[in-house]
Structure 1
Amino acid sequence: MALSSMTGFARSHGASGPYTFEWELKSVNAKGFDLRLRLPPGWDDIEASAKKRAGEVLSRGTVYANLNVKRANAVSSIRINEDVLASVLKVAHALAGKIDAVAPSIDGLLAIKGVIEVVEPESNEEEDKAARIAALAAFEQALADLVKMRRREGVTLGQILSQRMDEIERLAKKAEAAPGRKPEAIRARLAEQIAALLETSDRFDADRLNQEAIMIATKADIREELDRIASHIAQAREMIGKGGAVGRRLDFLAQEFNREVNTCCSKSNDIELTNTGLEMKNVVEQFREQVQNLE
């Protein structure tokens, strides 16, 4: 299974009887999955089916789905509500004898709420049912196109992530080969520091200082961190190769990478090793940023 991005866009069209409709789907990054539907009035009954189907093929990302529907030959008509108009005229006639006012005009009467009613054309139950089935089929097509686009983006992301793994591996090998982390180099630096201390005072215990030197050398060793980084690289490559919804696991792995690299930098007692660690930290951050786009 290929990797899949969480971002994508798709559109589909359909028609059934007097209805024509258009779906527009857009997905963006999110921690979980959420389908946000925007449906025209009277089409709410397709929401449950659309959400169920989307949840079957997508596991992460917020998807905004808009449905636009048009009905051919659907011309609304206007009619006068005779009962409301009669009530208004009765009140106007009653007030005419009590106050000095101009007789109500036609446009004034028509502007009163409830006097004019907009009558929608009558719908056909069979046509409406068929249109909803066709609209769900069009949604299925748009959803399939969205999945395809997200997977195309996922292929590109997979290539980028693999490149980042190669860079991290190269830098880890560079750190391992750094002259400054070799035992003899550490001993030489510590010997220089001890010698400098002994020259300034005769109160230092040479044996005690040698013991402390051994402890410091042990703490400065990054062998364990490099081994864990190598293990993380292997895990990341396996996940990228298998594909699927691995975004969360790779995000966790990116945090583990960052932790190990930070430890390497904190243990470093050599400028070259520190620079290598900082470079590796930058690549890990690039890896983490790309992982945020994965499903």
Structure 2
Amino acid sequence: MTRSMTAFARQEAEHEWGSLSWEIRSVNHRYLEPHLRLPENLKELEGFLREKLRKAVSRGKVECTLRFNPEATEQQLVVNKPYVQEVINAAESVQGMLQNHQALDPLELLRWPGVLQDTKLDMELVKASAKELFGKALDDMLEGRGREGVELATLINQRLDAISAIVAEVRENMPKILQNQRDNLAQRLAELQADLDEGRLEQEIALLAQKADVDEEMDRLDTHVQEVRRVLKQKGPIGRRLDFLMQELNREANTLSSKSIVASTTQCAVELKVLIEQMREQIQNIE
């Protein structure tokens, strides 16, 4: 399936320890050129992300930005309030057993094992979540490239239809053009009262026809059009192959123009080159 190199994707996720968001922007480029922007504490993901991109994308400049907003600092002291309440309840239950009861000291209570919990953000969990979220963003980006690729393929096929129509028109008109040239040549010779035998006239006509013969160019144009259609249906990267075929199509259009003996054929060659250039511009965006 034809895939564009232009796309954008964004994925966000909220967790109890914070939020993550990925943005992936992709534009056309001759080769694969990834640019990763990661928080310092998640730089270790770079190797994994580059490999993931390399397997999924063949061409394009791909900018990937990860934003991480933790809910709390990486390390903090948290009071285990349910446990504190249990300690207080236990103290009150034995209050009557104490002869000299004193009020509970909050600082002493905080020293009780288990009252204070030393929590630390699990960065391995964050990394795993970032990887999973990146996979979703990458899938979205690839789907976007695919949708735009379908549109590009449609536009290119429309121009291929126009090229085929022009080629058919030139084929149909060429016998008439050659006959008109023969009649014009004979008329000019008659006006000049030139004494030219019929054999010599036929030689001149044959030479003119040989110079104006564009059947080979028409055949190659048809062949290249068929090849472009076939390549558009292939899987994987096809942009470079299509770019080469545009060069070949343009070469045949130039040859047709150089062999033209009437304005109509020249105009057809110009229209061909316009269509080929339009396709070439679209193909610059195909992976």
Structure 2 residue runs without a partner (length 5+): 77-117
Moved over 4 A (4+): 179-182, 192-199, 204-213
Work out the CA distance in 2 between the residues paired with 1:195 and 1:267. Answer: 26
* Aligned equivalent of 2:227, options 226, 235, 252: 235
Range with bigger deviation, 278-287 or 145-154: 278-287
RMSD: 2.8
The residue number in structure 2 matching 1:157 is 152
The equivalent of 2:259 in structure 1 is 267
Structure 2: distance between partners of 1:294 and 1:142: 20
How far off is 1:183 after superposition?
Answer: 3.6
**SS of equivalent residue, structure 1 residue 21:** strand
- In structure 2, distance between residues paired with 1:227 and 1:181: 19
Matches of residues 48-63 of structure 1 in structure 2 within 5 Å?
A: 48-63=47-62
> Which residue matches 1:28?
27
Q: Work out the CA distance in 1 between the residues paired with 2:32 and 2:202.
A: 59
Deviations 1:85-132 (A, max 9, x none): xxxxxxxxxxxxxxxxxxxxxxxxxxxxxxxxxxxxx994x7011111
Q: Which position in structure 1 is the counterpart of 2:142?
A: 147
Give the unaligned 5+ runs of structure 1. Answer: 78-121
TM-score (norm 1): 0.75
* Aligned 8 A contact 1:5 1:154 in 2: yes
Where does residue 37 of structure 2 map in the other structure?
38
Give the deviation of 1:264 after TM superposition: 0.5
Give the corresponding residue for 1:252. 244
1:131 to 1:197, Cα distance in 2 relative to 1, 3 A: farther
The alpha carbon displacement at 1:75 in A equals 8.8
Code of the residue aligned with 1:172 in structure 2: it is: V
Tell me if structure 1 keeps the 8 A contact 2:5–2:145. yes
154, 167, 176: which one pairs with 1:172?
167
Aligned mates of 1:198, 1:207 — CA distance in 2:
17
SS class of match (1:35): strand
User: Conserved in 2, the CA contact under 8 Å of 1:257 and 1:284?
Assistant: yes
How far has the Cα of 1:184 moved from its partner? Answer: 2.5
Alpha-carbon distance change, 136 to 188 in structure 1, aligned in 2, over 3 angstroms: same
Amino acid at match of 1:37: L
Partner residue, 2:278: 286
Q: Structure 2 length as normaliser, TM-score?
A: 0.77
Residues 181/246 of structure 1: CA separation in 2 closer, same or farther (3 Å cut): farther
Asked whether the equivalents of residues 17 and 131 of structure 1 are also in contact (C-alpha less than 8 Å), the reply is no
- Summarize the Cα distance change of 1:256–1:186 in structure 2 as closer, same or farther, 3 Å threshold: same
Query: Quick one: percent identity of the two aligned structures?
Result: 35
Q: Is the Cα contact below 8 Å between 2:228 and 2:242 reproduced in 1?
A: yes
Given that 2:75 and 2:119 are in contact with CA atoms closer than 8 Å, whether structure 1 keeps it comes out as: no
Q: Per-residue CA shift, 1:38-74, capped at 9, x if unaligned? A: 1111221100100101111111111011111111122
Residue 13 of structure 1 contacts residue 138 of structure 1 at CA under 8 Å; is this kept in 2?
yes
The offset of 1:223, in angstroms, is: 0.5
Aligned length: 246
